[in-house]
């Protein structure tokens, strides 16, 4: 060892020189450094260490003195002395200049061997044994302390792990695109056009103007005609294609998505579904081209979820053959009406229809709210709702009507009409059934919210996964920093959610298929649409939030897109039916298989239903199975589906019993329901999750490409087991799994996360979100990243 | 019954007239209506019902014919006929005009009794029995079907429930304010001033300008002098008072809070804690008055959490006696520096200090970044970071240094200095210990984040609770709509969080007391500060999100404040230490009781620690206790604290064993740690939650006013049990509770929510947030609500 003193006259260095000159202490230098570097050895420990060193190495009295001065609790070495000691260790090329990982003892050993033997040194093997004993007393772990001593602690050129699975992301993408790949490709290409460019910090008015420009571009491309075809006599459209368009749009600005949904889904849909030929002919072509912008005026200030009790009235006046639309109280004002704030000229207005003095319940009418110049029509008052948490490109507004007249023909009269003679008539005698038919537009809207939320989540997950794959922070001692996606918690935050995004893609596709086809159980489909809306939007909120946090501060920056997605998507939990209300709806359907009559406080046929349910018995759980921790068993789709089905059945019969017992004791059914509301919501989640897993398993089975099937299989396992893990308290409480199995499932989720990690980027690439739509600089590896754009962006801000 | 036909000639009405004329059918009218109204009876059920009616009442052939025409599955009655039938029922004042709740059978009975007896009618009791049988066949529940028939379904004048508890919110507020009530009152009064008025939709530049105006107003009030007293020779301040100020500011705009925290907490704090007399004298008075605005430049693009490996260098040049500050790579640029975007002229810059060619680790220096005119200093490049998800009143910026020179005196030299002779010197020999001392400013910052997050959560919870107390939606049939806070799910969303806000208030106060005092275990306090930062900020995100959703669309509207609070607070999970990193830190401290040396990949003393921990044994759980479901037991603070302590100990020893076994098998300790990261994070949460509950129990014990103690006791029960419920899978898996007890705890949480519900508003009122700070119109009952402000606001938007 070249134990020369550094070329400096710092006072600390005399002590260092003495140490370096003490030849017997040479093999101890690494340990002496480590003993101080951490600064946490207790006085007692230091003295003990000194004693051992002295005894074991049989130190001379001179060297004992030097050692004592270096391990003196009362008088620690100076910072410079320590720093130079480290430097002296670095200079010893012979010992540390190796890729081997050495213990401190071994490092000391090599330093001793490289230098001429000191007088009185013990023999080599004896020395080695002694050094090991001393190292043990110091309480350090393996070779890591030595790694800390290396001059270059960090190498950042480490390569990424090789992929585990052999699927082609493009092929997986095609599978996700089915059955409307061409349509999706068309929308993606359209959105890649120059005019679809993100913006930020625009004043409300300009942003809204821009969104309308985008909407017009979509209409000009012919998408509008596809969405509201005026030629279908039955007032339907291919919801499957409509949702494919909608889902793809969901990767771009969500204000555009919502405006699109209002114009073509809700406003256009209300005319298609509730209007008749006259309405179709008159309005659909003009709204498809955006010549006519409309809105969907259902919600009132006082009535969000409780649509049945809306207060706005539409009273028929036989003399003038017109309806008088009126807002009787302040709480009756229409609220949150997308498009009403600035642009819409025509509104589908939901109101209590009063004919011949009798209220026939909620119906929809077309009411002009603005003239060609954009001024409110006489009797109509409109207020912009101003700034929101997100979706600020959507012009939400409030509307008041003061005795506004519209002609008889403006009633959307497919399910309820007023005849020429001024009498009310309807093909649906039951007012309850008629009411739910009128709300049919909302069912499609709920599928749309699921699709949009899912796309938003996929965008955010893609950005976060790509960033986490590249971003490095910390690492093992002496090794390169590791990508943050190598951390267990980061994997747990992102990978089960990627799996869920796949699961929901298949579930949504299946539900859309049912909705689109002649469905023998329409009500179950509608209830599931409500349930999926709640589930998918909750997922979207959670996934975008996880993505935000996974990207740290970068996720908070507007430029990186996630913040915009997160704030825009937040209201998905609320609009088109508040999630708790939606979940109650699917639970009621599941409990009673009678979604509609159980809805909205109209519970009175429940006793019959409950009696049926309560008699249902569940098969006992098998103790061999509840303790089975084999990986093969845990991974098995049958086990996973059985777990979710068992939970659902048990929750349903349990809540039915509980509600029934309360009603039997004289509790009002509404109160009984509310007294079990947490249980009811659990039923809903269990129902939706079972359905989603079924769809995933089915999609997996139907995949013929082996590589793709293996990939889907891995995702399905992670999805199913993380659902079970999330609700483990239920499975344990009900004896479906024992403690050992619960632990095994948790471990399996961890292992699956680790197994999927090398393919994480491939899995999000299969979402096929165009780079221009992702846009976030952090979603691209360096070099590819539009760093200039970032600078340009910042300059733009600075100019403001 | 006045069975006259309505005055109209609608064709449906002939059928109705025939029905009304059939006297034997009179008692059946309510059931006939109900049979159709829902529209869900199967064909078979209708025919069965018809048969029963015919048989039981012995109907004449004419009446049988009429009945058959009304219960004909092939030919349902028209909607108008049904509507008028309902009207006919309404007109029968004698039967429905009662407050009694009647079954359909009883209603029919009364209608029959009021009319002259029909020919061939069975005797009264016989009729009643028959009607009951028929009603049963119809499958309706109790009296609710009848309630549906009443003309006025909704009464909105219902009164709110009376309070359960007898505490005075003002007195509870005083308790929460201790020990700095006067200071808090002063800040509240200050913020009630005219200039502190919320704004929205301002361009970035204007918003930031406004926030600086606010900051100046605070400085002018003398608050700055309190926060950075230049007279304390020991470079400390009363953190307890500082945090009281900070916490109170947290009820107003959070951009102001963060700017305040940067200026007085981080920038001011770094000078106080790391500077020496020269720095105190030169800078503190000017920064207290805001004459000097500064920033705290620690974070770099490439190094967020991993501060130890920062790349910026400060190289000492002995010739000019100055330091050269330099950004050697793109990843070394300073990022996210609050205040750097626009206003700061001086920065506390963290850099690797290189003296005499040796790197002495991260130190802090004062570097001027702008001149008096606001232009960047030579060699300094600054970029504004632009729009963020929230906190847009804070001017975050990036900084690059190109060989920027600052004089030797600009080193904050309390813990590391370069002498006149150009030698490095430090009172702390251990580089590790010195590093953590330098980060001390962050510890105070973490207490600040906890306090600010807690205040944000309280604001959002107050708004949501007050709104939920007033907002009505749905209700039992025929009864008023109920406030949404009467719903179980709404209670569960808000009440445990209110309880947690109380719990964290006490925990933060206790931790501040320890931080402020001569603390025998400084490291544990610092680790707890990291843990509480993560826990409180996670809580703040969850609570503000719950508040947003609890208010539905109203929560999404900027005007109602929650959206602003939610988006501002989001980054609290990230800044001042990413939450996962913080939780690892507290877990490592807990595992090893050696927070510092275990931090940042420096794990090598762990084996020693782990050996100690792994030998720890846990007392067995008692089967009598694990099945005990008595309310008294569940409510007991000893049981609750034991549960949390047991969990913590078990998790700690478990993770220690797991990490040790991995290391024993040759795994690198960093990898071993990461391989148990989910377990490690669970340790951290368990540790923090146990601490928080201890503080709550202590606060409860120390409360002498009996009414207040009862109130706190209820909150403490809800807090503790909902924590246990949240992690029930753990308690079940580890045999600490059995299934029956898990169910009992869930029920108890439900019951406590219901019990606390009538006092919910009183509990949030005790947070004492001034109305002007809440500001949200939905937080005020109608009449008190500034409706005009809302309109004004909307008009302002419309003018844009």
For the record, the structure tokens of A165 come out as 């699975």
CB A527 within 8 A of CB A536: no
**Token pair 């719990």: residue:** B503
Contacts of A1 (CB under 8 A, 6+ apart): A26, A88, A91, A92, A94, A95, A111, A114, A115
For the record, the structure tokens of A330 come out as 């302040």
pLDDT tens digit sequence for A486-501? 999 999 999 999 999 9
Q: Name the pLDDT band for B225 (thresholds 50, 70, 90).
A: confident
Section B651-670 average pLDDT: 86
Q: How many CB atoms lie within 10 A of CB A2?
A: 11
pLDDT at residue B603, rounded to an integer? 43
Q: Name the pLDDT band for B591 (thresholds 50, 70, 90).
A: confident
**Chain A residues close to B36, C-beta within 8 Å:** 429-430
CB B324 within 8 A of CB B353: no
Closest-approach residue (CA) in chain A for B609: A139
Q: Please check whether residue B478 lies inside any domain of the structure.
A: yes
pLDDT at residue A520, rounded to an integer? 64
pLDDT at residue A610, rounded to an integer? 47
CATH of residue B757: 1.20.140.10
pLDDT tens digit sequence for B678-708? 999 999 999 999 999 999 999 999 999 999 9
With CB atoms and an 8 Å threshold, state whether B306 touches A575: no
Chain pair A-B, CB pairs under 8 angstroms: 431
Q: How many CB atoms lie within 10 A of CB A156?
A: 10
**Chain B residues close to A209, C-beta within 8 Å:** none
Q: Please check whether residue A473 lies inside any domain of the structure.
A: yes
How many domains does the structure of chain A reveal? 3
Looking at residue A99, the DSSP 8-state letter turns out to be S
**Interior CA angle at B130 toward B125 and B132, to 5°?**
95
CA A543 from chain center: how many Å?
Answer: 1
Residues B601 and B682 in one domain: yes
CA A78 from chain center: how many Å?
Answer: 52
Section A663-675 average pLDDT: 87
pLDDT at residue B21, rounded to an integer? 87
Section A297-312 average pLDDT: 91
**Chain A residues close to B603, C-beta within 8 Å:** 141, 144, 477
Q: Three-state SS string across A416-450, please?
A: CEECCCCCEECCCCCHHHHHHHHCHHHHHHHHHHH
CATH of residue B355: 2.40.110.10
Q: Name the pLDDT band for B793 (thresholds 50, 70, 90).
A: very low
Percent of chain B at pLDDT above 70?
Answer: 88
Residues B283 and B303 in one domain: no
pLDDT at residue B619, rounded to an integer? 44
Q: Cα dihedral sign for A258, A261, A263, A267?
A: negative
CB B418 within 8 A of CB B424: yes
pLDDT at residue A158, rounded to an integer? 55
pLDDT at residue B233, rounded to an integer? 57
Residue A121 CA to residue A26 CA, distance in Å, equals: 11
Residue B135 CA to residue B145 CA, distance in Å, equals: 10
Section B377-401 average pLDDT: 97
Q: Please check whether residue A245 lies inside any domain of the structure.
A: no
With CB atoms and an 8 Å threshold, state whether A386 touches B604: no
Q: Name the pLDDT band for A118 (thresholds 50, 70, 90).
A: low
**Chain A residues close to B476, C-beta within 8 Å:** 601, 668-671
**A519 to chain B nearest CA, in Å?**
17
Section A701-722 average pLDDT: 98
Residues A427 and A506 in one domain: no
**A427 to chain B nearest CA, in Å?**
8
Residues A486 and A622 in one domain: yes
The residue out of A387, A416, A434 marking a domain boundary is A434
Closest-approach residue (CA) in chain A for B659: A141
pLDDT at residue A141, rounded to an integer? 53
With CB atoms and an 8 Å threshold, state whether B305 touches A605: no
Residue A135 CA to residue A137 CA, distance in Å, equals: 5
Residues composing chain A: 800
| Higher-pLDDT residue of B114, B293 | B293
Q: Name the pLDDT band for B612 (thresholds 50, 70, 90).
A: very low
With CB atoms and an 8 Å threshold, state whether B473 touches A335: no
Q: Name the pLDDT band for A47 (thresholds 50, 70, 90).
A: confident
**Chain B residues close to A470, C-beta within 8 Å:** none
Q: Which of A143, A26, A16, A11 is nearest to A87 (CA)?
A: A16
Q: How many CB atoms lie within 10 A of CB B608?
A: 17
Please give the model's pTM, rounded to 2 decimal places: 0.89
**Chain A residues close to B8, C-beta within 8 Å:** 356, 423
Q: Please check whether residue B585 lies inside any domain of the structure.
A: yes
Residue in A306, A594, A794 closest to B474 by CB: A306
pLDDT at residue B96, rounded to an integer? 72
pLDDT at residue A128, rounded to an integer? 87
Q: Please check whether residue B154 lies inside any domain of the structure.
A: no
The residue out of A434, A452, A486 marking a domain boundary is A434
pLDDT at residue B664, rounded to an integer? 82
Residues A460 and A590 in one domain: yes
Mutation pick from A132, A141, A303, A309 vs chain B, by most beta carbons of B within 10 Å, is A141
Closest-approach residue (CA) in chain A for B149: A602
Residues B137 and B197 in one domain: no
Residues B329 and B472 in one domain: no
Residue A400 CA to residue A299 CA, distance in Å, equals: 12
**Chain B residues close to A306, C-beta within 8 Å:** 473-474, 481
Residues B324 and B452 in one domain: no
Helix H or strand E segment including A405: strand A404-407
Q: Please check whether residue A766 lies inside any domain of the structure.
A: yes
Helix H or strand E segment including A354: strand A346-355
Closest-approach residue (CA) in chain A for B205: A800
With CB atoms and an 8 Å threshold, state whether A360 touches B83: yes
pLDDT above 80: residue A796: no
For residue B336, what are the domain limits?
295-431
| Higher-pLDDT residue of A225, B530 | B530
Q: Please check whether residue B5 lies inside any domain of the structure.
A: no
pLDDT above 90: residue B269: yes
Q: Name the pLDDT band for B520 (thresholds 50, 70, 90).
A: low
Helix H or strand E segment including A631: helix A631-635
Closest-approach residue (CA) in chain A for B7: A356
In angstroms, the Cα distances linking A535 to A443, A450, A495 are 15, 8, 18
Residue in B303, B563, B729 closest to A728 by CB: B729
The residue out of A434, A468, A503 marking a domain boundary is A434
Residue B147 CA to residue B477 CA, distance in Å, equals: 6
Residues A110 and A144 in one domain: yes
With CB atoms and an 8 Å threshold, state whether A358 touches B84: yes
Residue A106 CA to residue A33 CA, distance in Å, equals: 15
pLDDT at residue A159, rounded to an integer? 62
b/e B398-431 (16+ beta carbons within 10 angstroms → b): bbbbeebebebbbbbbbbbbbeeebbbbbebbbb
Section A90-105 average pLDDT: 73
> What's phi and psi for B298, nearest 5 deg?
-100, -60
Q: Name the pLDDT band for A234 (thresholds 50, 70, 90).
A: low
pLDDT tens digit sequence for A715-770? 999 999 999 999 999 999 999 999 999 999 999 999 999 999 999 999 999 999 99
Residues B401 and B541 in one domain: no
Residues B644 and B507 in one domain: yes
pLDDT above 70: residue B593: no
| Higher-pLDDT residue of B76, A344 | A344
Residue B775 CA to residue B460 CA, distance in Å, equals: 11
Residue B236 CA to residue B247 CA, distance in Å, equals: 19
Q: Name the pLDDT band for B787 (thresholds 50, 70, 90).
A: very low
Residues B396 and B474 in one domain: no
pLDDT at residue A766, rounded to an integer? 98
Looking at residue B370, the DSSP 8-state letter turns out to be B
CB A95 within 8 A of CB A27: no
pLDDT at residue B118, rounded to an integer? 67
The pairing of strands B380-384 and B396-401 is antiparallel
pLDDT above 60: residue A800: no
Q: Name the pLDDT band for B58 (thresholds 50, 70, 90).
A: confident
With CB atoms and an 8 Å threshold, state whether B549 touches A605: no
Q: How many CB atoms lie within 10 A of CB B519?
A: 13
Least confident of A33-37, B389-393, B751-755: A33-37
Closest-approach residue (CA) in chain A for B736: A739
pLDDT above 80: residue B279: yes
Q: Which of B366, B262, B354, B360 is nearest to B308 (CA)?
A: B360
Q: Name the pLDDT band for A346 (thresholds 50, 70, 90).
A: very high
With CB atoms and an 8 Å threshold, state whether B552 touches A205: no
The mean pLDDT of chain B is 87
Q: Please check whether residue B34 lies inside any domain of the structure.
A: yes
């Amino acid at each position: 060892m070249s134990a020369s003193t550094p070329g400096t006259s710092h006072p600390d260095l005399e002590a260092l020189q003495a140490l370096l000159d003490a030849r017997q202490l040479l093999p101890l230098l690494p340990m002496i450094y480590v003993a101080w570097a951490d600064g946490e050895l207790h006085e007692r420990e230091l003295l003990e260490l000194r004693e051992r060193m002295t005894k074991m190495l049989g130190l001379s009295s001179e060297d004992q003195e030097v050692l004592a001065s270096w391990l003196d609790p009362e008088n620690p070495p100076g910072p410079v002395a320590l720093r130079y000691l480290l430097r002296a260790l670095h200079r010893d090329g012979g010992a540390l200049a190796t890729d081997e990982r050495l213990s401190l003892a071994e490092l000391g050993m090599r330093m001793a061997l490289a230098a001429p033997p000191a007088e009185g040194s013990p023999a080599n093997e004896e020395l080695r044994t002694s050094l090991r004993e001393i190292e043990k007393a110091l309480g350090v772990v393996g070779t890591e302390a030595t790694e800390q001593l290396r001059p270059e602690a960090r190498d950042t050129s480490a390569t990424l792990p090789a992929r585990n699975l052999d699927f082609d992301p493009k092929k997986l993408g095609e599978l996700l695109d089915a059955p409307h790949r061409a349509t999706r490709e068309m929308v993606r290409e359209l959105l890649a056009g120059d005019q679809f460019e993100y913006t930020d910090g625009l004043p409300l008015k300009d942003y809204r103007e821009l969104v309308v420009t985008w909407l017009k571009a979509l209409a000009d491309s012919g998408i509008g005609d596809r969405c509201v075809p005026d030629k279908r006599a039955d007032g339907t459209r291919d919801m499957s294609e409509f949702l494919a368009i909608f889902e793809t749009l969901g990767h771009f600005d969500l204000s555009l998505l919502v405006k699109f949904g209002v114009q073509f889904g809700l406003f256009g849909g209300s005319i298609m579904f509730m209007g008749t030929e006259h309405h179709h002919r008159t309005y659909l072509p003009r709204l498809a081209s955006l010549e006519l912008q409309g809105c969907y005026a259902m919600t009132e200030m006082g009535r969000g979820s409780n649509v049945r009790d809306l207060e706005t009235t539409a009273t028929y006046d036989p003399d003038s053959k017109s309806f008088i639309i009126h807002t009787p109280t302040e709480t009756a004002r229409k609220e949150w009406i997308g498009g009403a704030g600035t642009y819409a000229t025509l509104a589908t207005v939901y109101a209590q229809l009063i004919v011949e003095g009798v209220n026939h319940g909620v119906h929809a009418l077309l009411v002009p709210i603005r003239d060609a110049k954009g001024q409110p029509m006489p009797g109509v008052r409109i207020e912009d709702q101003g700034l929101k948490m997100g979706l600020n490109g959507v012009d939400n507004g409030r509307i008041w009507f003061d005795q506004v007249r519209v002609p008889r023909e403006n009633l959307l009269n497919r399910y309820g009409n007023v005849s020429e003679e001024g009498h009310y008539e309807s093909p649906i005698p039951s007012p309850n059934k008629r009411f739910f038919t009128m709300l049919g537009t909302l069912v499609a809207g709920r599928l749309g919210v699921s699709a949009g939320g899912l796309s938003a989540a996929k965008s955010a997950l893609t950005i976060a996964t790509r960033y986490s794959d590249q971003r490095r922070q910390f690492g093992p001692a002496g090794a390169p920093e590791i990508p943050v996606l190598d951390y267990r918690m980061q994997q747990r935050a992102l990978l089960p959610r990627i799996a869920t995004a796949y699961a929901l893609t298949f579930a949504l596709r299946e539900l859309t298929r049912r909705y689109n086809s002649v469905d023998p159980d329409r009500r179950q489909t509608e209830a599931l649409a409500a349930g999926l809306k709640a589930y998918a939007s909750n997922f979207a909120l959670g996934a975008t939030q996880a993505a935000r946090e996974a990207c740290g501060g970068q996720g908070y920056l507007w430029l990186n897109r996630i913040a915009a997605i997160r704030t825009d998507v937040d209201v998905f939990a609320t609009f088109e039916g508040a999630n708790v209300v939606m979940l109650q709806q699917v639970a009621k359907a599941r409990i009673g298989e009678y979604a509609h009559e159980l809805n909205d406080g109209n519970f009175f046929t429940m006793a019959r239903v409950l009696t049926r349910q309560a008699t249902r018995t569940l098969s006992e759980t098998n103790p061999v199975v509840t303790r089975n921790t084999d990986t093969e068993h845990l991974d098995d789709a049958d086990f996973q589906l059985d777990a979710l089905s068992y939970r659902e059945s048990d929750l349903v019969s349990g809540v039915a019993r509980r509600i029934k017992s309360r009603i039997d004791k004289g509790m009002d059914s509404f109160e009984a329901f509310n007294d079990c509301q947490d249980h009811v919501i659990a039923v809903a989640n269990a129902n939706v999750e079972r359905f989603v897993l079924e769809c995933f398993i089915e999609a997996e089975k139907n995949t013929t490409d082996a590589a793709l099937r293996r990939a889907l299989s891995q995702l399905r396992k992670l999805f199913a087991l993380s659902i079970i893990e999330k609700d483990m308290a239920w499975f344990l409480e009900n004896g479906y799994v024992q403690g050992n199995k619960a632990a095994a499932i948790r471990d399996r989720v961890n292992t699956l996360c680790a197994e999927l990690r090398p393919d994480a980027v491939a899995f999000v690439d299969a979402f096929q979100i165009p780079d221009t739509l992702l846009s976030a600089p952090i979603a691209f590896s360096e070099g590819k990243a539009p760093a200039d754009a970032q600078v340009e962006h910042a300059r733009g801000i600075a100019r403001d």
